[in-house]
Structure 1
Amino acid sequence: MPREIDKSASQEVSSPDYVGLVKFLIEPFLEETESLHIDCEHLTSSSKVWLRVAFDTADKGKVFGRGGRNIQAVGTILKTAANNANQFLHLDVYNSDRDLAKSKSQYKKRSRPRPPEKNQVIL
């Protein structure tokens, strides 16, 4: 008699190695592979994955490609891997390690508008 297989256990997919996948896809475009910095954050409560990638600005053209084709292809591969693992992936790309550190403070808005300068004419 054929044995029944528990499909729920066999279909359970572990989380992909996003850091290894990003290194594999982006390092060929870089002059110095040491300039690549990757931060991977798994949000367990909602199965979301946040990937932050930073590299030297000199390699920006190669990594992004003409019209952004290279980075779009990298994003598509990563999102497909996440989709197969029933996860949602968000990819952020920064130009350097400093941008990665400043990213959270960059989007703070002022609570009130700046006052006009002395020589500025207001209409």
Structure 2
Amino acid sequence: MCPRCGTELHRVLRSGRLAKAWLSVSLQTLHAGRADVAVLAIRRSLSFKQTPEAKLLKGFLIRRQYRALYQSLGQQNWREARGILDGLRTLQGDNETLLRFAELVGYLSFQSNENRTIGE
């Protein structure tokens, strides 16, 4: 308890510890090649405390996810592209850019399926 104002500090301290623990989980899972889990973990970390480290990692993950999205589009891997878009929505929420990418993936995957069906 704060001697000055009487606030219970154990909750504040606990939030800081949880934020640090989830940041660690995010870093470990990213290192293990599981960006999808790292995205969820960094979001959880930030829900406890908005630390500069977590914000930095979130920005890194966003940039990394966009690079992965471009790569999956180039490889015409529509399922992977949709998964990456889900991760980006988790990090950024819905925004105009992500909505347009989702429309693009939907259109290109439809065209790809149409071309495959015609060729059979």
TM-score range, shorter chain: under 0.3
Which structure exhibits the higher relative contact order, with contacts defined as CA atoms closer than 8 Å and separated by 6 or more residues? 1
Superposition TM-score, scaled by structure 2 size: 0.27
Higher helix residue share: 2
Larger relative strand fraction: 1
Name the TM-score, length of structure 1 as normaliser.
0.26
